[in-house]
Structure 1
Amino acid sequence: MTGQLAAARARVHDVDALRGFALLGIFIVNITFMASGFPGNLVADPAYSSTFDDVVRGLSSVFVDMKFYLLFSFLFGYSFTLQMDAAARAGADFAPRMLRRIAGLFVLGVLHIVLLYGGDILTTYALVCLILFWMRGARDRTALRVAAIVYGVVVLSMVSSGLFLDSSSFLPPETEALANAERTTQALLGGWGDIIGQHLGGLPLLVLQAVSMQGPTALAMFLLGMVAGRRRLLTQVRGDEPILRRIQWIGFPVGIAGGLAYTLGGGNGTTLAVAASVATAPLLTAAYVATLLRVMHHPRTARVRAALAPAGRIALTNYLVQSLLGLLIFTGIGLGAAGSLSPLATIGLALLIFTGQLAASAWWLRRHRYGPAEWLLRWATNGSRPGWRKDTSG
C-alpha cells in the first residue's frame, strides 16, 4: 500500500512538473508580446536589430515558439481524465461538474483578455474542451485517429496556402508594419482605456488564430492527452525506459530542423515556414518531455521535479500572474517599460519572474490547498465553496 501511495504521488508530481515546465516556455513567448508592439506586427524593433539580437530571437524561434502550448494542451487532456476520476471518487455526475468548469474557465479567459493580456489561451481551451467533453466516450483508437486527422488537416491547409497563395499579399509593407508596431507600443504606454482598447482591437486576430491553428492543434493534443491519461502513461515512468531515448533521438533532430526551417524561412510572416514548425513541433515537444522525465527520475537531479511541481500545480494562477506582472511592468499603468528591453533582457526577465514563481508557489502550497484561480475554478466546478487553508495544527 505504501508503494502504491508513493507511485500515486510521483505521478501527480510528474504531471505538475511537466505543466510547470510548459508554463515557463509559454511565458517566454508571451512576454515578448507584452513587452513591445513589434512582435505582434511581425517585424523586429529597429532599436534592437543587431546580429546578437537577431540570434537571440532566432534561438527562441527554433527552440521555444509554438512548442510549449502543445505540451500544455496535452497535459490539459491528461488532466481531463483526472477530473473524471475525481468525479467518480466523489460519487458525482461528471457532466454538470465539467460543464461548470468549462464555463468558469471561459469567464476567466474573457476577463484575462480584457484586463490583462490580449493573447489569451483560456477562452480557446474552454471552447475546444466542449468538443473533448463530447468525445469523452470515444474509444482510444477513434480519439487517436481524430487527433491525427485534425492535426494533419491543419498542416496540409498551411502547405496548400503557402504553395498557392502569396502570404505577403495579406501582410502590410514593412514600412506600414513598423508604423503599426510603433503605434501599438505607444498604446501599451497609455492608460487603462488605451490598453483595454488594444486588447479588444486584437480580438479578430485572436479568433482567426484560434479557428485556423491554435484551436484545432489544441484539440488534437487534448485527445492525445486524454488517451494518455486513460492509459496512465505517466504513472509508471522510471526514467530509464528505452522509449524515452528513442523519442530524444528522433524528436530533437527533426524538431530542431523544423524550427530552423521556420526561423530561416521567415517565421510567422511565411505560411510554409509556419507549416514546417507546426508539423515538427510535436516531435521537439516530445523530446523535451522525454528529457525532463529522465532528469526528474535520476537520483542526482530529482530535485528538478520538486522545484517545478508546485508552479505546475497552480499553473492557472501563475499564468494569470504572469500577465498581471507584464501589465504592471510594461504598460503605462505600471512602470511603462514597453519597448525598452532587448530580446535578451526580455527573456532574462521572464526567467527571473518564473524563478520567483517557483519559490512563491512552494510557499503558497505549504499553507493553502489551491492557488486563488484554482480555488475559484474548483468552486465553479463543484458548486460549493472549497476549503482554503491547510490544517497545519497537527
Structure 2
Amino acid sequence: MHSSPPAQSPPDSELVPSRERIEEIDVLRGFALLGILLVNVQVMAGPHMDAGGQPVMSRVDEAAGWLVTALVSAKFYLLFSFLFGYSFTLQRASAERAGIPFAPCHLRRLVCLFLMGAAHGIVLFSGDVLMTYAVLSLILFALRDISPRSAIRTAAWLVLGCAACLLAWGLLTVAYGTRVPSQEVTAVFQERMAAHRGDAGSIVQAHLRSLRDGLGWTLVYSADMLAAFLVGLAAGRRGVLARTSQYRAQMVRIAVGGLPIGLAGGVAMAICRNGPLDARWHNVGSAVGVLTAPALTAAYVCGLLLLVHSGPGRWVGDALAPAGRVALTNYLAQSLAAAVVFTGYGLGWYGRFGTTVLLSGCLGLYATQLVWSKCLLRRTRYGPAEWLLRSATFAHRP
C-alpha cells in the first residue's frame, strides 16, 4: 500500500497485488444485486390486475412504487456499470502479470457474455443488460489507454447527451402528446398478462417483441452505461477501491454532498414517473434521473464503504461479499426465480401481486441468495455462470 494517492496513474499491473482480491468490489456487487432485483421484479411480475383483468393499485402499493423510483431506479445499473469498468482494469492487469495476450481473452469473454445475455433476454427476462455490456465493452477496449481525467470528462459529456435526448423527447411529449385512454392501457396489460401466463412459445415471443421495441431506449441509455464504464476505468487506473482508507475524507464529502442532490433528483423523477404528474412527463423525469442518479449512487457507495470499514459495520461487508463474488450467477438466478413464479414456465402468477408483496418477496429471495452464496463459496471458487465465463475467457477449464 502507498502512503498517499499516486500523482500519476501507474500501470494497471501495479494497482492490485496479484494474490489479493479487492473485497470492496464484491461488497458493492452484492449490494447492487438488491437494487437491481427491486427494479426488475416490477417488470417481470407485471402490473397488479384483478380477476377481470383491470389494473389494481392500492395507496400502499403506490407509495412503495414511488419510493423505489425515487431511491432505487436508475441508481444501481450505474453501480454495476462502474464496477464493470473497474474490473476491466483488473482483468487487464491480471493478463499482463500472467504474460497472456489480453485482446483475445477479452474478445472471448465478450462473446460468451453476449451469448449468455441473449439466452437470458430471450428466455427469461427481456430487460437483460449483459448483451449491452458486451457491445459497450468493445468501446471500452478501444479506450483502454485513455487518461483518467479524459475518461471522466468524456463520461460527463455522455451523461449530458443522454439527459438531453430524454429531456427533448419528454418536452415534446408534454407539449404535443395526449393522454392514452385507460381502456388502451388496460388492453396492453391484458395482452402482456396472457402472453406471460402462456406456454414457452408465447413467453419467448413476448420477450422478443420487448427486445425489439426497447432497442431505441437501449441505445439512449447505453451512453449512460458507457459513462459509468469510463468512471470505473478511471477509478481502476487509480486503484481507488484498493486504497479506500486513503480516500476516507473524500468519501465523506461525496456522501454528504451527493445525498441531497441525488434525493432531490430521485423525488423529481418519481413525481414525473409515478405521479402526481401524468405519464407524459415520464421522460422528463428520466432526464432528471440521469443527471442526478450518479450523485445518489456515489453517496450510496461511499456510505456503504465507510460503514463496512467501521467496527460495527464489518458484518455488513461479510454478508454482502460472497453474493458479490458470484454476482453474475445471482443476477441470472433472480430472473430464473421470477420466471418460475410469474410466467407460464411455472406458477404463472404474472399480474397477481401488488408492489408491496413483490418487494417483500425480493427481500426474502435476496436473503436466500446471501446465505446460498456463502455456502457455495465454502465448496468452490466460482458460481456456475462465473465458471462458464472464465472458461470461455481463457479457453480452458478453471
| Superposed pair shares fold, TM > 0.5 | yes
Query: What does 1:211-360 align with in structure 2 at a 5 Å threshold?
Result: 211-213=219-221, 215-238=222-245, 241-267=248-274, 269=280, 270-360=282-372
Shift of 1:301: 1.4
C-alpha distance 119-313 of structure 1, shift in aligned 2 (>3 A) = same
Letter in 2 for 1:30: N
Partner of 2:177, secondary structure, is: helix
Letter in 1 for 2:223: P
In 1, Cα distance between the equivalents of 2:139 and 2:195?
36
Bigger mean CA offset, 169-178 vs 48-57: 169-178
In 1, Cα distance between the equivalents of 2:319 and 2:200?
36
CA contact (8 A) 1:53 1:344 kept: yes
Shift of 1:135: 0.6
* Aligned mate of 1:27, from 32, 37, 51: 37
Partner of 2:321, secondary structure, is: helix
In 1, Cα distance between the equivalents of 2:108 and 2:397?
14
CA contact (8 A) 2:48 2:56 kept: no
CA contact (8 A) 1:71 1:285 kept: yes
1:115: which partner in 2? Answer: 123
CA RMSD of aligned residues (A): 2.5
- Which structure 1 residue ranges, 5 or more long, are not aligned? 40-44, 387-394
C-alpha distance 373-264 of structure 1, shift in aligned 2 (>3 A) = same
Show CA shifts across 1:128-158 (max 9, x none): 1110011101222222221111111111222
Query: What does 1:366-377 align with in structure 2 at a 5 Å threshold?
Result: 366-377=378-389
C-alpha distance 20-339 of structure 1, shift in aligned 2 (>3 A) = same
Partner of 2:242, secondary structure, is: coil
Shift of 1:10: 8.1
1:392: which partner in 2? Answer: none
* Aligned mate of 1:128, from 124, 131, 136: 136
1:70: which partner in 2? Answer: 78
CA contact (8 A) 2:70 2:266 kept: yes
Show CA shifts across 1:251-289 (max 9, x none): 111111111111112357522111111110000001100
In 1, Cα distance between the equivalents of 2:104 and 2:80?
24
Shift of 1:161: 2.7
1:42: which partner in 2? Answer: none
* Aligned mate of 1:81, from 71, 74, 89: 89
1:60: which partner in 2? Answer: 68
Shift of 1:172: 4.2
Show CA shifts across 1:33-58 (max 9, x none): 1111579xxxxx95542221111111
* Aligned mate of 1:155, from 163, 172, 185: 163
C-alpha distance 8-62 of structure 1, shift in aligned 2 (>3 A) = farther
- Which structure 2 residue ranges, 5 or more long, are not aligned? 2-15
In 2, Cα distance between the equivalents of 1:166 and 1:258?
19
CA contact (8 A) 1:38 1:181 kept: no
Bigger mean CA offset, 233-242 vs 67-76: 233-242
C-alpha distance 345-284 of structure 1, shift in aligned 2 (>3 A) = same
* Aligned mate of 1:12, from 22, 28, 52: 22
Q: TM-score, normalised by structure 2?
A: 0.90
2:5: which partner in 1? Answer: none
In 2, Cα distance between the equivalents of 1:211 and 1:73?
15
Partner of 2:380, secondary structure, is: coil
C-alpha distance 157-363 of structure 1, shift in aligned 2 (>3 A) = same
- Aligned positions, number: 379
1:191 aligned to 2:203? no
1:381 aligned to 2:389? no
Letter in 2 for 1:316: L
Letter in 1 for 2:343: T
Letter in 2 for 1:365: L
